[in-house]
Amino acid sequence: MNAIDLGAGTAFLGRNALFFDELDSTNGWCKRNDLPHGTAVLAASQTSGRGRMGQSWSDSPGKSLSFSLVLRDWPANRLAALPLACCIGVLRALTAECGPGFAVKWSNDLLHGEKKVCGILCESVLSGGSATVVIGIGVNLTRTEQEFKSLGLVYAASLESATGKKIDGRELAAAICRELEPVLIKFQEFGFLELREEYRRSCLTLGKEVRVIQNGRELAGLAVDIGGDGGLICEIGGERVIIHAGEASVRGLYGYV
């Protein structure tokens, strides 16, 4: 393990940074260790990268950015929409580094065109009214279309395959820290309502037919808006239903779950 200087120029996010050649999961390591607020943990490869909804996350050494950020004493009432707030910061960083063309698929997948380039997994441990949070961010940097195909990941792309840009992982981690820090400060102080308009503008799911899988039942509807707490408001069978991240998967947008 090496302490590294990301050079992000931030007040707290990524000021402490640790780099590992290999970890099981950067999120898992952060959860097992007592790390200061804002610490970034990067790994060149993960042997058991974790994705949302109990799925695994596949990365390959040198071809992906896998890192986690630790937030301490994070208010418990600012957890539900945190992954959506993170999307805004990461989207800003991807746009700054690679140019336009990125969008969000509700709740917290980042796409370029029709393909997923980045996933975010927020995990938290509550203690009283506050939590220790680990924000895990995985970005595909340089894998080719062929590599994704052979892995059966037909709806995935890398920054290079999607935009032609070869992006350095540490520079991107620094850019994410720089863009995400002010978003987190605003979100902590004012909540998601202050960020909702930017999220709406970036969200490809809105206006699309969706199939919501909730408690094993599949319901068809139309995604119409984002709620004040980050829920997806859908019209299903003539009624407005709010779907919360983690409670349901939304299919129907490019077939990607």
Binding site for ligand BTN (CB under 6 A): 25-27, 46, 49-52, 55, 57, 66-68, 109, 119-121, 136-138
Give the shortest CB-18-to-ligand BTN separation in angstroms: 13
Judged by beta carbon, residue 52 or residue 115, the one nearer ligand BTN is: 52
34 burial level (CB within 10 Å; 0-12, 13-18, 19+): exposed
Judged by beta carbon, residue 191 or residue 249, the one nearer ligand BTN is: 249
CB of 175 closer than 8 Å to CB of 167: no
Give the shortest CB-207-to-ligand BTN separation in angstroms: 22
Judged by beta carbon, residue 67 or residue 187, the one nearer ligand BTN is: 67
CB of 243 closer than 8 Å to CB of 223: no
- SS3 (DSSP) at 138: strand
CB of 76 closer than 8 Å to CB of 126: yes
Give the shortest CB-151-to-ligand BTN separation in angstroms: 14
Judged by beta carbon, residue 10 or residue 25, the one nearer ligand BTN is: 25
Q: What are the φ/ψ torsions at residue 29 (nearest 5 degrees)?
A: -65, -40
Q: What is the DSSP string of 33-68?
A: S---TT-EEEEEEESS-B-GGG-B----TTTEEEEE
Give the shortest CB-256-to-ligand BTN separation in angstroms: 10
Give the shortest CB-129-to-ligand BTN separation in angstroms: 26
Q: Which of 136, 121, 141 is nearest to 59 (CA)?
A: 141
Q: Using CA atoms, how far apart are residues 71 and 189, in angstroms rounded to an integer?
A: 14
Judged by beta carbon, residue 68 or residue 205, the one nearer ligand BTN is: 68
In order of 171, 190, 204, the CA distances from 12 in angstroms are 17, 19, 31
Dihedral Cα 187, 183, 57, 221, nearest 10 deg: 60
Judged by beta carbon, residue 68 or residue 191, the one nearer ligand BTN is: 68
Q: Which of 119, 108, 126 is nearest to 31 (CA)?
A: 126
Using Cβ positions, the residue closest to ligand BTN within the complex turns out to be: 119
Residues in the chain: 257
Q: Using CA atoms, how far apart are residues 201 and 94, in angstroms rounded to an integer?
A: 16
Give the shortest CB-123-to-ligand BTN separation in angstroms: 9
Judged by beta carbon, residue 10 or residue 249, the one nearer ligand BTN is: 249
Give the shortest CB-141-to-ligand BTN separation in angstroms: 12
